Amino acid sequence: MPSGVSHFRELGVRLREHDYLADEGLSTAIFLSLKLGRPLFLEGEAGVGKTEVAKVLSRILETPLIRLQCYEGIDVYQAVYEWDYARQLLHIRAAEAFGGEDRERVERDLYDREFLVSRPLLQALEHRGAMPPVLLIDEVDRSDDEFEAFLLEILSDFAVTIPELGTIMAERPPVAILTSNRTREVHDALKRRCLYHYIEHPSFEREVEIVRLRVPDAEERLARQVAAATEKMRTMDLYKPPGVAETLDWTEALVALGARELDEQLVEATLGSVLKYREDQQRAANAGLAALVSGVGGAGRDA
């Protein structure tokens, strides 16, 4: 637990100090994860800030962030460890060239610790710092059932067995954050092992606050217009509705152009900063780009 934090609201303040605006539900989930030593499973649409939670926590705790990016087909060798076959081959050739070592000893040496390449999960288990690392297992929904089962085993004991070396157990379990964009349902067993929180798109006022916090050079009027426009886009049945990440990207692009408020011409010129698929851009254009900037004044959503 971070020093000076004894309540979830205090953690919320610390998150804000690191430019992450969390509601009470998320602050509570993170607080309990740290307090109880349980993995935290964060689910929600892409771009709502799930991955950022782990990044901010690593800064608050002043400990390394170790990230495992999941993808289709990932297995133990990409996630935990693999043997350095090139170095093993060199070792064999050196032994053959210089002689003097019996075959059995050469074979034993091939599976010495020096030939082991640690991947993210093993790195997290072997971390020896003053604070445990933050382990981010990102987009776990992209992996398959077999890998989920393996993760469940790892998260239950925070240990892994390497046949040639034995069992390696964490001295202090890492702060584990799992994320899912819900492209498929993750098995209940893995979720039950974790505390769970679903991150929704923020309300209009909260999104404005996030924009003002993360892009301080943005004018108040521009921040409100961008937040309102992205909120409207989320109702358009897009293939990839914009998340908070896209709202921030768009605002930064507009500020870089010197914009102080949004108009139809600017929307058209910068649409690629917020909508990343041609079909979504076309759908927004068909709905009328002017509609994205209408009815938003400087003091509220409606002028």
Task: Measure the CA–CA gap between 130 and 64, rounded to whole angstroms.
Answer: 11
pLDDT score at 99? 65
Q: Which domain holds residue 110?
A: 81-114
Residues 167 and 276 in one domain: no
294 burial via Cβ count (<10 Å: 0-12, 13-18, 19+): middle
Instruction: Count Cβ neighbours within 10 Å for each residue of 42-63 and write b for 16 or more, e otherwise.
Output: bbbbbbbbbbbbbbbbbbbbeb
From first to last of its 303 residues, what are the pLDDT tens digits of the chain? Answer: 676 677 898 999 999 999 999 999 999 999 999 999 999 999 999 999 999 999 999 999 999 999 999 999 999 889 999 988 888 788 777 777 766 556 666 666 777 778 888 999 999 999 998 899 999 999 999 999 999 999 998 999 999 988 888 899 999 999 999 999 999 999 999 999 999 999 999 999 999 999 999 999 999 999 999 999 999 999 999 999 999 999 999 999 999 999 999 999 999 999 999 999 999 999 999 988 888 887 554 444 554
What is the maximal distance between C-alpha atoms in the chain? 87
Q: Which residue do the tokens 């004894």 mark?
A: 6
Q: What is the pTM of this model?
A: 0.86
249 in the Ramachandran plot: left (φ > 0), alpha (ψ -120 to 50) or beta?
alpha
Residue 143 sits in a domain of what CATH number?
3.40.50.300
Q: Which two tokens stand for residue 182?
A: 């819900």
Judge whether 300 lies within some domain.
no
Residues 31 and 158 in one domain: yes
Residues 188 and 224 in one domain: no
Judge whether 298 lies within some domain.
no
Residues 104 and 149 in one domain: no
Q: What is the DSSP pairing of strand 195-199 with strand 65-69?
A: unpaired
Residues 105 and 188 in one domain: no
